[in-house]
Structure 1
C-alpha cells in the first residue's frame, strides 16, 4: 500500500513538471492553458492526499504541501496571467523542444521570484544585504562555501530547539492561543514575555526549514552548473528594516508567492473594473492576495495533520490586510497632521523606528499563536523534526 502511494506521489511530481513545461512551450490557446492549469490543480491535490497518507513526518508533509501549492500558483500565473509561452523562450526560432527551451521552462516555473527575468519581483535581497542590487555576485566557490555554512548553522539552531526540554503544553492550549480583550486581565508579565519568546522561536522554526531547503537546492544547482549564483539570491530580506506589517510580508519574507498572488489579484480587480489608482483597488488586491495565501497555508496545516476545526492558517492570513490598511491610514494621518515631512518609507527618527518595530513584534505576538499553537499541539519533536539526521541526541 505504501509503495503504491509513494509511486502515485512521485508520478504527480513528474506530471506537474512535465505538464507545466509542455504548457509553456506548446499551449497556444486560452482553453488549452485553462485545461492544463485544471489538471495541474488535480495533480497537486492528489499529491497532497497520497503524500500525507504514506509519509509520517508532519513537518516535511506541511513543507512539501506548501512548496507544491506555490508551484501550482507559479505555473498557473505564467500560463493564464502573464501569458508566457514559446515566444518568450531563449530559442523561439529553433527547435520547439530544444534542451535550452526545456530547461528554461522547467526553471521558470520553479523560479517563483522570477529572478533575472522581466517579471522579477521587487525587494529581492542582494548578496551584500539590503534591497539594492549588488554587482558583487560571489563566485561559485564562495557561494557554495557560504551557503553550506548557513545551512549548518541553521540546522544546529533547529536541532538545539528540538533537543531541549519539552515545552509546557499548557502554554500552547487552545485557550491561551487567543489574546483577546476578555483575557487581557489574566495575562501577567511572565506569560507575556514567554509568549514573545515562543512566538519568535517558532517563527524561526518555520522560516529556517524553508531557507535550508532553498539553500541546499541552490548549492546543488550551482555545483552542477545548472544555475549561476546570480540566479539564486538570498531568501530573506533585512530584519532591521521590518518596521511595519507591510514591510514584513513585502520586504523581509521570502517573496516566493508575490508574483503569483499579485498577478492573480491584479487580473481579478481589473476584471471588476476597479480603478487602478483607487483605495478600493489596493484593498481588494490585498484581500485577494492574503485570501489565496491563507488557502495555501490552510492546506499546509491540514497536511501537517491539524484537524480542520483547529487549523487557523486562513483566519491568520485574512487578518493581515486589516493591519496593513490600519498602517496605511495611520501613516497618512501622522505625516499629514503631526509630522509634515518624510514618510514611512523615508527616514524615521530613532524613537519612531523603535515604536514601529515594537508594533510589529506586538502584532505578531498577539496573532501568530492563533496559527502556530495548533501545529505545536499536533507535532512531536522526536518524530517530526525537519532534520533528517539529528546532530544533538534527543533526550
Structure 2
C-alpha cells in the first residue's frame, strides 16, 4: 500500500513530468499550456498541508513543500511566460515568430523529452545562452577554471562535513525550552522599548546571525549532496555545479547581499513573473526608475510568497508567517540605500568618491548587519517560537557534538 510520503512525492514528480511533456511536445503558444496550470496548482494544494504528516520532520517538510512550490513557479516561467520550446532549444518569448520558426529543429521524441526535463528542473541553466546572471565561477581569478572530478568531489565532501558540524554545533548550543519566552510575538518589533535593551538586542543579533549561518549551511549541504552524487555517479559534469553562493565579502549593501552573495537558485522563477507584470501588464517603460523598482518589489513579494507557502508546509499558520513582510522589507532597504548612494555620489563625484571607497564598504557591512538584525526576526521568530527541540525539530539526524560532550562529561564523573 502506498504511503502518504510516496503519494506526495509522486505528485511532485507529476509536476515535473507535466512541465517536461508540455515544453517538449506543445507549441509555445498552445492553449494546452495554460490548461495544464490548474493541474499543477492542484498538486501543490494537495502536497502543502500534508508535508509534516508525511515526513515527521520540519526540515524535510520544508524541503518537500519548497520543491512543490518551486516547480509550480518553474512551470509558470518555462511553459507560460518564457515559453520554452524543445524545437527552438530554449525560450521563445520576446522573439519574432518568424525567427522562432526559422530556428525550429525537429527533435526525436527521446531528445525532446530529455530537453523538457532539463527545462523543468534546471534553476540556473548553466552553460546555455539563457544562463541566470550573477552566478559565480569556480575561481574568481580564473573564470575558465574548472576543477577535476576528484578535486570537486573532495571539496564537496569537505563542505558537507563542515556544514554538518556547524549545524550540529548551533543545534547543540540552542535552548529550545526558552523559545516561547525569547521569540514570542512581542519580541519582534524594535518599536517596543523593552526590545531595545542590551540583552534583547544581543539575543536578536545572535538569533539572526545563527539563522543565516544555519540557512547557508542547509542550502550548501543539500545542493552539495546532490552535486556530489550527480557527479560521482556520472549523471552530470562538474561544469553543471558551479558554486551556489558568491563571496561574503561582496555583501556590503543589501542589494549585493541578495544579488551577489546569496544563491540564485530561485532567481529566474521570481524575475520572470515580475518582468511580465511590470512590462506586459503595467506597460512601464524599461530602464526607468518606475520599472526597475516595481520589478524589484514584485520579485521580493514573489519570494516572500514562496517562503510563506513553505511555512505552511512546515505547519506554521498563514497568519503567523512573516515571510512576505520580511522580503518586501528587503526591497525597501535597497530603495533606501540606493537613495543614499545617489546623494553620496552627487556630493562626492569622481575621484573624491573613490577615495572613500574602503570606508564606505566598511560602513556598508555594518549597515547590512544592522538592517538584517532589525528585519529578520519578523520572518524567523514565528518558526523559532514553535521549535520545542523535539525530534521533529532537529536538523541533524545524529549529533556528533552531543556524543562528544556526553563522553567528556562521563569521563569527568
TM-score normalized by structure 1?
0.91
- Change beyond 3 A, Cα 1:92–1:227: farther
Q: Residue 75 of structure 2 aligns with which residue?
A: 75
Q: Residue deviations 1:151-187, cap 9 Å, x none?
A: 011001101111235253222222112212x42x752
243-252 vs 203-212, which moves further: 203-212
- Contact 1:342 / 1:348 at 8 angstroms: preserved in 2? no
Structure ID, larger Rg: 2
Q: Residue 170 of structure 2 aligns with which residue?
A: 161
Q: Residue 57 of structure 2 aligns with which residue?
A: 57
Equivalent runs, 1:85-100 vs 2, <5 Å: 85-89=85-89, 93=105, 95-98=107-110, 100=111
Taking the aligned partners of 1:280 and 1:92, their CA distance within structure 2 comes to: 37
Taking the aligned partners of 1:252 and 1:264, their CA distance within structure 2 comes to: 23
Taking the aligned partners of 1:343 and 1:104, their CA distance within structure 2 comes to: 52
- Change beyond 3 A, Cα 1:148–1:43: same
- Contact 2:136 / 2:244 at 8 angstroms: preserved in 1? yes
Taking the aligned partners of 1:187 and 1:392, their CA distance within structure 2 comes to: 33
1:124 is aligned, of 132, 135, 156, to: 135
5+ long unaligned stretches in structure 2: 91-102, 407-413
Taking the aligned partners of 1:202 and 1:56, their CA distance within structure 2 comes to: 22
TM-score normalized by structure 2?
0.87
Q: Residue 301 of structure 1 aligns with which residue?
A: 311
**1:385 Cα deviation after fit:** 2.0
Count residues in correspondence.
Answer: 387
Calculate the aligned-residue CA RMSD, in Å: 2.4
1:370 matched to 2:382: no
Equivalent runs, 1:270-281 vs 2, <5 Å: 270-271=279-280, 272-281=282-291
Q: Residue 248 of structure 2 aligns with which residue?
A: 239
- Change beyond 3 A, Cα 1:88–1:392: farther
**1:51 Cα deviation after fit:** 2.6
- Change beyond 3 A, Cα 1:375–1:186: closer
- Contact 1:244 / 1:327 at 8 angstroms: preserved in 2? yes
- Contact 2:195 / 2:201 at 8 angstroms: preserved in 1? no
- Contact 1:25 / 1:96 at 8 angstroms: preserved in 2? no
5+ long unaligned stretches in structure 1: none
Taking the aligned partners of 1:119 and 1:371, their CA distance within structure 2 comes to: 32
Q: Residue deviations 1:43-100, cap 9 Å, x none?
A: 12212233333221012212222233122212321111221112234997465322x4
